Structure 1
Amino acid sequence: MRYQDEALEELPKLEVLIGSVCFLMTRYSLNPTNELARAVSEHFELLYLHPDCHSPVLQDVGQRLAKQWEMLWSTRSAGSDIERPHLH
């Protein structure tokens, strides 16, 4: 766990966090970078640790996806970001 209790008390509303993680995943689909993958992982971690997240389903999904996205960025950080052709 990367976050202290004090940091968790200052989180945005749960709905804002869910919207943010959706936005970050959309950005990642367009431009997959380690930084975005790490941000997605961290946002999923904040989701399942959020004091207002009382749903066992959301907690479980958040925890599992945080780990999956963490594996993605930590595995990719050994190499370089995916090169994608640019459309002009």
Structure 2
Amino acid sequence: MTENSPDPRLSGEFLRRPTSDVTLVGVVHDHPASIYRVQHVVTDRDPDVLALELPPTALPLFETYAQDDRTPPVFGER
């Protein structure tokens, strides 16, 4: 996908296409590099299916964000 990208945020280490219609994006948490990576893939590549690979400890953070209409979400609230 972007294995040869000069931008380390878009390297093959963080982006994969396990099948022709699924794009897998690795994120650590709400770090600016992870945010950029996801926004870039969604905007520039328009994948059919986008899957996020993230550590289990980050799941509650993203679940909270999904329930919040504010962009960016307010940090530190539950």
TM-score by length of 2: 0.28
Bigger RCO (CA 8 Å, 6+ sep) = 1
TM-score by length of 1: 0.26
Higher strand share: 2
Higher helix share: 1
